[in-house]
Amino acid sequence: MIESRKEDHVKISLKEDVDSSKNYWEDIEFYHHSVPEIDFQDIDIGVDFLDKSLDAPLMIAGMTGGYEGAEDFNERLASVAETLGIGFGVGSQRAALENDELRKSYETVARYSPPMVLGNIGAPQLIKQKASEALSLAEANELLEMIEGDYLAVHFNYLQEAVQPEGDLKAKGVIDSLKELSSKVPTIAKETGAGVSPQTALTFQNAGVKAIDVGGKGGTSFSAVEHYRNQEDKMKTISKNLWNWGIPTPVSIVECRGSVSLPLIATGGIKNGVQVAKAISLGADIVGMAGGVLRALADEKRTVEEYFERVIRELKTVMFLLGCEEIDELLNVKKIFTGDLKNWID
């Protein structure tokens, strides 16, 4: 069932190492200058994203909802996002459409006021599948209403769907449906760990989405997550062999920035403030974090708030060392690409 599927994802992501084999953020370095010529206290990391003002260029990327326990999960994270003035997204809300009792695991978010709240639905749900009807406009509106959300993230998780036995594999016509939906509801197109190519970014832009979350390779691999869920040998092997499929997050940012004018969210393998600075210096407007936040939530020694305070301090430290008072100035600093990333960028 869907609800246990969402719970499985959380449990597996905490218990197993489900990251892609390489974190490509290691292959970028900033060029150091010894004289910052600014005061640390003057560093301002606030940003405007779409029509929202965030206190830091960060958001908690959509992860969950739709099972017992998810209410507490979403409540704790929405509360942190409100306190820190950063964005927050819920995980797929499909379960709430199928079972009224599961709505409260999402509805709890409406009690908090992060500066930006994202709803979430899978792109496969935009069209009729073997076992489900296409999402209606009324349902899409309902998804945003239940969390008092600002934008509906439509996640393109076809890799995940394809490496599990019960996946939704009908994809023909999905862009027409996205276009139709985006003309009535503010949407954000989102990948979930395999990255967005420049051609796909253009397709999303033409479909009328407001922003793109490139969701690239380097962090949580959903093929890896499904590998641990799969019981049967054939699917277990297939999901293992596609574990490292996709476009690395830094590459996806550079390429999408070159092809579209839409605001970009960088999600995929970002766990510290140095990586946040790198993502922004490549052209991302804000950064989304999922796996790292999940582990922080389960960490008994530190709170999620402390985790983000560390990330923010790291981001400011990098900005100080690079002499950047404002977030935008990161775009102009010198970067060096090494290793595999250099091959990708070339």
Number of Cβ within 10 Å of residue 83's Cβ equals: 14
User: Shortest distance, CB of residue 37 to ligand FMN, whole angstroms?
Assistant: 34
DSSP-based three-state secondary structure for 16: coil
Copy the structure tokens of residue 145: 């209403």
Residues lying near ligand FMN in the complex (CB under 6 A) are found at 9-10, 13, 61-64, 91-92, 120, 153, 155, 190, 192-193, 215, 219-220, 267-270, 289-292, 294
User: Shortest distance, CB of residue 293 to ligand FMN, whole angstroms?
Assistant: 7
Of 43 and 121, nearer to ligand FMN (C-beta) is: 121
Cα distance between the two ends of the chain: 44
CB contact at 8 A, 342 and 27: yes
The tokens 């260029």 sit on which residue?
A: 57
What dihedral do alpha carbons 268, 269, 272, 273 form, nearest 10°?
A: -40
CB contact at 8 A, 59 and 287: yes
Residue nearest ligand FMN, CB atom distance: 219
Partners of 120 in beta bridges: 153
Of 12 and 321, nearer to ligand FMN (C-beta) is: 12
Of 92 and 230, nearer to ligand FMN (C-beta) is: 92
Of 246 and 283, nearer to ligand FMN (C-beta) is: 246
Of 264 and 289, nearer to ligand FMN (C-beta) is: 289
Copy the structure tokens of residue 39: 């005061």
Of 221 and 322, nearer to ligand FMN (C-beta) is: 221
CB contact at 8 A, 251 and 341: yes
Of 9 and 257, nearer to ligand FMN (C-beta) is: 9
The tokens 């009690």 sit on which residue?
A: 111
Report how far residue 279's alpha carbon sits from residue 256's, in angstroms, rounded to the nearest whole number.
12
User: Shortest distance, CB of residue 23 to ligand FMN, whole angstroms?
Assistant: 9
Comparing CA positions, the residue from 322, 320, 332, 334 lying closest to residue 44 is: 320
User: Shortest distance, CB of residue 290 to ligand FMN, whole angstroms?
Assistant: 3
Give the distance between the most distant pair of CA atoms in the chain: 62
User: Shortest distance, CB of residue 91 to ligand FMN, whole angstroms?
Assistant: 3
User: Shortest distance, CB of residue 4 to ligand FMN, whole angstroms?
Assistant: 13
User: Shortest distance, CB of residue 237 to ligand FMN, whole angstroms?
Assistant: 23
